[in-house]
Structure 1
């Protein structure tokens, strides 16, 4: 008879955070409702693109041309890059990681206030789960908190300094993303201002998400976040120096590394749709380890919630057809969040097949 995974230790409540569970002195293996075998092997790669943001905003035409070429190649070939020299202070990056960690150290009752009920909830918190192809619910080995921060700002009241840090962080990252998108529009040979108007970027969607991955006694028997792509245009990630983000490139998995004071950036579903397939939404996952806690802070950036996002008309004319269906941004987000089954993707359903 096959051995069954253990249950939660008797001194831990069923709805406790993963952090509390991981810190239990009696925990020696993954409890049954977290247990799923996975292969997190990945290679190291020295050729993951590094984009120097200062070149993109340089007055030197040669420097800027190089920055644009590098960005175009990164979005076309990888859907992922490391962003350096972006102008956001190292102290602010440290603050957003530190204050996010403070959230996970709050008492359980404070965090339970935001247990997710619907995708429309402006603030959510919990552990999260996925449904396997065998229709089995599996909890993820992480705690999270999310908050919509633009066009309307929301924030948990605790920890008290989170609001102040998050307001500044969302503003600074939004500015960086806007400039990246303007450069992308230029690379796509769109008229100046086209991308801003078509996607209504003055009212752009921005979501803050912090993920806490405590050490796991059996990393090959639990998931941080399974294989997925992101909704939106560009996602920016910073972390506490503990690796865990893996990306898929040409069918192979790679570990990502980032120097201090840099962002990990991936292109997302709506950039693939808007570019009519020129840029690909990168597949990625978060893995866990048995040695150190990892915290990552994600800022997801999209069009305005009410914007209809489809392939840019000039690109459709150039290509002779649209390769993706248009859909209101917020409807896409809501539909994507309902895709909890492993192995299914809403992005595939948006592609127009030759025989459609």
Structure 2
């Protein structure tokens, strides 16, 4: 059976960015020997079934730097099509060493294995907790995961422990920004925009880049809890790597599909600001994170966005070409704050900004 979004509350109001601890971390809760069922605070009934697909687009990053104009043109077309149709693609041959990727995952595990008091001994803008959502029925539900997150750019932040995290994360963040910039240049060309227009309009030199490490421990009732409910991301391009344990599903044509990205590949999804900037041509990919009974899943997310003070609106050339503007402008910082607000009356940010013909 193929699961669709109708099996879940359509719009949990927002994922809390102020992670909250329910007595202790979800990791500690999951390791409790007498845990037989999901506590009521975490109860989120869902249908976790999804289909497998070999159609999720694969983008070979080396084609961007091959120097072959035909290959470059072809991969830019493929990239644009992936963002239009799926809002997701698997990036291969990106040049980030496998040892660096594995190092990030291992360091994240080291953090989550720290004693609870050491993990909680972080200060703004570094946040640690498990997060929550507010459903349309105004019910607060905690997520079955522990979360560590903090900004990487334009100011770099990192917890003190584990001590090896800072160096490898700094390198991974820089490499990720460089790859994101190349992909965005390709998408700008695919949109037919003037060279440099996107970079200037979105102030990419001071782009806001965020790190998030997600720890999803085994759950006694995977259909009664959720790692992350269906949502879209608020930036431009989100990069995801993981420890090999499946759990992320993406929605395509109203159906849920499992993602099984190859070893050392990066799963990339188009996010809200790119849908807005492209005047709706590119799709912000909806996805969700499920949990399981058997194994801990660790995922590492790098959210690449515009500058915090960039006012994002549909590119003027695209509005002229399309004959109408589909989204209202909003400063990216305000967009993130609104996304984090638990009072959106059941509507996503994209819906609130979408201009509806009267």
Q: Normalising TM by the smaller chain, what interval?
A: over 0.9
Query: 1:178 aligned to 172, 181, 184, which one?
Result: 181
Alpha-carbon offset, residue 15 of structure 1: 2.0
Mapped partners of 1:134, 1:62: distance in 2: 53
The equivalent residue for 1:308 is 311
Aligned match of 1:233: 236
Which residue in the other structure is 2:82 paired with?
74
What TM-score do the two structures reach when normalised by structure 1?
A: 0.93
Q: Which residue of 169, 177, 180 maps to 2:172?
A: 169
Shift of 1:134: 2.3
Residue number in structure 2 paired with 1:50: 58
Matches within 5 A, 1:9-48: 14-48=22-56
Equivalent residue number for residue 114 of structure 2: 106
Would you say the 8 A contact 1:246–1:255 is kept in 2? yes
Partner of 2:190: 187
Aligned pair partner of 1:219 in 196, 219, 222: 222
**Correspondences of 1:266-277 after superposition (within 5 Å):** 266-277=269-280
Aligned to 1:335: 338
Equivalences for 1:232-271 in 2 at 5 Å? 232-271=235-274
Question: What is the aligned partner in structure 1 of residue 9 from structure 2?
Answer: none
Superposed CA deviations along residues 223-252 of structure 1, whole A, max 9, x for unmatched, are 100110000100000000011111111111
> How many angstroms does 1:194 deviate by?
1.0
Aligned to 1:146: 149
Q: Per chain length, whose mean CA-contact separation is higher, i.e. which structure has more relative contact order (CA < 8 Å, sep 6+)?
A: 2
Q: Are the aligned partners of 1:30 and 1:218 in contact in 2 as well (CA < 8 Å)?
A: yes
| Structure-2 separation of matches of 1:95 and 1:104 | 14
**Mapped partners of 1:281, 1:62: distance in 2:** 28
Unaligned runs of 5+ in 2: 1-20
String of CA shifts for 1:281-337, please: whole Å, max 9, x gaps. Answer: 011100000011000000001001101000011111111221100011111001011
In 1, the alpha carbon distance for the partners of 2:152 and 2:84 equals 29
Unaligned runs of 5+ in 1: 1-12, 116-120
Q: Following the alignment from structure 1 to structure 2, what is the Cα–Cα distance between the partners of residues 272 and 196?
A: 16
**How much does 1:161 deviate?**
1.1
Q: Is 1:86 paired with 2:86?
A: no
Q: Is the 8 A contact 2:134 2:342 kept in 1?
A: no
Post-superposition CA distance 1:192-243 (Å, at most 9, x none)? 1111111110000100000000000100000100110000100000000011
Structure 1 pair 113–159 and aligned structure 2 pair: CA distance change class (3 A): same
User: By how many angstroms is 1:14 displaced?
Assistant: 4.8
Greater CA drift, 337-346 or 286-295 = 337-346
Q: Determine the structure 2 residue equivalent to 1:155.
A: 158
Q: Which runs of 4+ in 1 moved over 3 A?
A: 339-343
Instruction: Work out the CA distance in 2 between the residues paired with 1:271 and 1:55.
Output: 22
Q: What's the offset of the Cα at 1:22?
A: 0.6
Match of 1:198 among 177, 201, 210: 201
Question: Distance between the aligned counterparts of 1:343 and 1:212, measured in 2?
Answer: 27
Q: In 2, distance between residues paired with 1:232 and 1:34?
A: 27
**Displacement of 1:133 after TM fit?**
2.3
Cα distance, 1:343 vs. partner? 4.9
295, 298, 310: which one pairs with 2:298? 295
Q: CA RMSD in A?
A: 1.4
